């Protein structure tokens, strides 16, 4: 063994010994995080081997490990399926609307609540706004049927003034607005908590100095509050862009009905349908899910770098 190789081997051994001493020195902390690491390893990383189904012809009698490899045949069938491409474009269309109509609402709500001067009123509003987050989408869909259904509250009130019932939940063109409306009602209050926490970290002396200088509330919001939470907004926006291929399966699955089935065929619903509502083809559905994950990762990566260039703030820094 030459001198260079020996030095590299010794350096590697020294680094391992140093790492071992550091771990032993802080062994209590590592013991605390050990259950979390074990959970991720067992339930997040080991199951990733199941993604190999996308490259196999799954046979139940052989199991996952012995099923034959077929290369990219599943992906070829996926991209040759018109229903798949329709689901992809519909998912992007729905989630682009979420970025435009749903994403800004928690920010506006947090700014509104922050400007309230009555502490008791602020706490009551926070409780009211965050409560819907704890309701499952099954319950939310039931509430929407009671309120917006053909015989629901809104149509009953419209009937009192002689207006014909409107099929809010049964009209395909109204399905996406209903998705945005229910998303805002269910999640805006909870998401606003993150922005309110960021606002709480802004130095109050900035507001005091601006008030002494005669600035209005809108000016303080524009020049102090929004710049103060810009980093939080950027991070959450990047994460939202990284989920553009995930349309919120539980919400849309529970809100859809026979009349809006086509408008509700996003990628998540498509994966469910080809997996459970048709003869099972786990290789095909895994290929679709893998494609979705790759696109989500690519969008996350692109959004991070675009944000880094434009604002100097990204997902990690």
The answer to whether residues 3 and 126 belong to one domain is no
Q: CA 135 → CA 104, 147, 247, distances in Å?
A: 22, 16, 19
The answer to whether residues 33 and 101 belong to one domain is no
The answer to whether residues 44 and 77 belong to one domain is no
CA distance 8 to 12: 6
The answer to whether residues 209 and 135 belong to one domain is yes
Is residue 288 assigned to a domain?
yes
Q: CA 227 → CA 108, 214, 231, 313, distances in Å?
A: 14, 19, 8, 12
CA distance 148 to 156: 9
Q: Which helix (H) or strand (E) holds 257?
A: none
Is residue 141 assigned to a domain?
yes
The answer to whether residues 136 and 40 belong to one domain is no
Q: How far is CA 71 from the centre of its chain?
A: 31
The answer to whether residues 177 and 270 belong to one domain is yes
How many domains does the chain fold into?
Answer: 2
Q: Helix (H, G, I), strand (E, B), or coil: what is residue 69? A: strand
The answer to whether residues 292 and 164 belong to one domain is yes
Residue where the block lists tokens 């435009």 = 100
Is residue 107 assigned to a domain?
yes
Which CATH number covers residue 297? 1.10.3720.10
CA distance 317 to 313: 6
The answer to whether residues 227 and 140 belong to one domain is yes
pLDDT tens string, the chain, 317 residues long: the values are 565 666 667 777 778 888 888 888 888 888 898 899 999 889 888 888 888 888 988 888 888 788 888 888 888 888 888 888 898 899 988 999 999 999 999 999 998 888 877 767 777 888 888 888 888 889 988 888 888 888 888 888 888 888 888 888 888 888 999 999 999 999 898 889 999 889 888 888 888 888 888 888 888 888 888 888 888 888 888 888 888 888 788 889 888 888 888 888 888 888 888 877 767 778 888 888 888 888 888 888 888 787 777 766 666 65
CA distance 275 to 286: 9
Range of the domain at 13: 1-55
Structure-token pair, residue 8: 């590299």
Is residue 196 assigned to a domain?
yes
Model confidence, pTM:
0.79
């Amino acid at each position: 063994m030459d001198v260079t190789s020996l030095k590299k081997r010794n350096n590697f051994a020294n680094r391992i010994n140093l790492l071992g001493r550091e771990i032993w020195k802080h062994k209590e902390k590592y013991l605390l995080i050990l259950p979390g690491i074990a959970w991720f390893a067992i339930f997040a990383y080991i199951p990733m081997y199941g993604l190999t189904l996308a490259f196999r012809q799954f046979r139940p009698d052989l199991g996952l490990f012995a099923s034959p490899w077929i290369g990219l045949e599943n992906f070829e069938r996926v991209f040759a399926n018109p229903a798949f491409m329709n689901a992809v474009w519909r998912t992007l269309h729905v989630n682009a609307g979420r970025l435009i109509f749903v994403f800004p609402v928690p920010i506006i709500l947090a700014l509104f609540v922050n400007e309230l001067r009555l502490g008791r009123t602020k706490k009551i509003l926070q409780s009211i706004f965050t409560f819907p987050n704890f309701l499952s989408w099954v319950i939310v869909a039931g509430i929407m049927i009671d309120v917006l259904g053909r015989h629901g509250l809104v149509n009953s009130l419209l009937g009192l003034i002689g207006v014909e019932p409107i099929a809010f939940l049964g009209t395909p063109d109204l399905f996406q607005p209903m998705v945005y409306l229910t998303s805002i009602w269910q999640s805006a209050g909870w998401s606003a908590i993150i922005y309110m926490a960021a606002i709480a970290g802004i130095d109050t002396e900035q507001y005091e100095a601006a008030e002494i200088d005669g600035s209005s509330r809108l000016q303080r919001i524009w020049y102090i509050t929004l710049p103060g939470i810009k980093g939080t907004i950027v991070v959450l926006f990047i994460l939202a862009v990284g989920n553009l291929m995930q349309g919120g399966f539980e919400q849309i699955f529970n809100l859809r009905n026979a009349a809006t089935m086509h408008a509700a065929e996003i990628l998540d619903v498509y994966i469910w349908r080809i997996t459970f509502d048709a003869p099972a083809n786990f290789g095909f559905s895994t290929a679709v899910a893998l494609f979705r994950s790759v696109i989500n990762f690519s969008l996350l990566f692109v959004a991070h770098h675009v944000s880094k260039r434009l604002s100097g703030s990204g997902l990690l820094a």
